[in-house]
């Protein structure tokens, strides 16, 4: 193979490219001479005349174009070569158009996407994760914390108890709590734990039951006429629970009207007529009740030991 062959191939490629470019220019010239094309090509056998006219146009511009190039240009125009034909609509073309127009929609979509990510973050960290953490805490409470707490509180209450009914009450609260644990109800189990804790506090409390008197206490006792017996009277001394430091405590008292237990600092204690008037006489001479203490409550007990005759019933309004 001779050394001149590569050079001949390069020259042939260059000439071919020049021919194509020139043909394209011819087609472009024909498009801009639309009337000329219509006049010449609409007549049979006039291609040669059109080629001659093109020669004149290029010669006038000082450009020498070979006749084969002119004929190729005329043929290319007739065959619609060098004409851009838009691709048919398809998913690929739509995707390409979306990509090309990204400057229009890119920023709004980016902002929307960032906002969505931020909202998802808020949802995840502000709701989902705390909810999961709470669920984990509740599971630990139901399987470990609450059962152990209920057991310990029951044991403490029963160790403090000095009367049998306290043991029964502590056991009732404990069983209520464990039933709630088995049902997966942590809220009810916690209520049972609170009840046991309150029971322990009441057992530990030591106080005196005193009849109220003095400034701010207009009444030390009241009586009521029962609805079912207009000729009878029920007598009550207004009392409060006071510890060794003089602090008035909140303690449980059982209503004689509906047998419910209420926690209160002051209540009306049902007493006999004799006990009622004995206190009234004590107060009558100087408005001071010398023997105001009518009961004491000891550690380990729920109810006081009274120095007056009473059934322990209470009223809370008078």
pLDDT digits (tens, 9 = 90+) for 72-126: 777 766 665 555 667 677 877 777 777 777 777 777 777 887 888 888 777 777 7
16: confidence class by pLDDT, cuts 50, 70, 90: low
Q: How far is CA 176 from the centre of its chain?
A: 31
What pairs with residue 209 in β-bridges? 241, 295
Q: Identify each DSSP E strand in 185-247 by its residue range.
A: 207-211, 221-224, 234-242
pTM: 0.57
pLDDT averaged over the chain? 82
pLDDT digits (tens, 9 = 90+) for 50-71: 777 777 777 777 777 777 777 7
* pLDDT-above-90 percentage for the chain: 49
Domain spans in the chain, listed from the N-terminal domain onward? 14-99, 106-204, 207-315
Q: What is the mean pLDDT of residues 301-316?
A: 95
How far CA 90 is from CA of 41, 87, 290, in Å, comes to: 36, 8, 106
């Amino acid at each position: 193979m001779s050394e001149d062959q590569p050079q001949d191939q390069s020259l042939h490629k260059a000439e071919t490219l020049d021919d194509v470019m020139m043909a394209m220019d011819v087609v472009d010239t024909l498009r801009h001479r639309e009337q000329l094309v219509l006049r010449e090509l609409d007549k049979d056998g006039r291609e040669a005349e059109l080629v001659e006219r093109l020669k004149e146009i290029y010669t006038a511009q000082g450009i020498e174009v070979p006749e084969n190039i002119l004929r190729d240009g005329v043929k290319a125009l007739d065959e619609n070569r060098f004409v851009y034909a838009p691709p048919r609509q398809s998913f690929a073309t739509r995707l390409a158009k979306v990509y090309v127009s990204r400057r229009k929609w890119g920023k709004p979509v980016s902002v929307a996407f960032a906002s969505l990510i931020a909202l998802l973050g808020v949802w995840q960290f502000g709701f989902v994760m705390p909810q999961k953490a709470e669920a984990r805490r509740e599971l630990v409470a139901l399987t470990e914390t609450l059962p152990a707490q209920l057991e310990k509180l029951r044991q403490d209450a029963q160790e403090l108890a000095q009367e049998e009914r306290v043991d029964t009450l502590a056991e009732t609260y404990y069983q209520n709590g464990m039933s709630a644990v088995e049902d997966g109800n942590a809220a009810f189990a916690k209520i049972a734990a609170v009840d046991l804790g309150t029971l322990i506090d009441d057992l530990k409390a030591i106080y005196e039951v005193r009849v109220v008197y003095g400034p701010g206490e207009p009444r030390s006792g009241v009586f009521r006429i029962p609805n079912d017996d207009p000729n009878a009277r029920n007598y009550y001394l207004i009392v409060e629970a006071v510890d060794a430091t003089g602090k008035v405590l909140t303690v449980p008292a059982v209503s004689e009207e509906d047998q419910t237990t209420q926690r209160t600092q002051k209540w009306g204690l049902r007493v006999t007529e004799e006990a009622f008037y004995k206190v009234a006489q004590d107060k009558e001479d100087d408005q001071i009740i010398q023997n105001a203490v009518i009961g004491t409550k000891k550690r380990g007990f729920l109810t006081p030991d009274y120095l007056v005759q009473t059934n322990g019933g209470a009223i809370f309004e008078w």
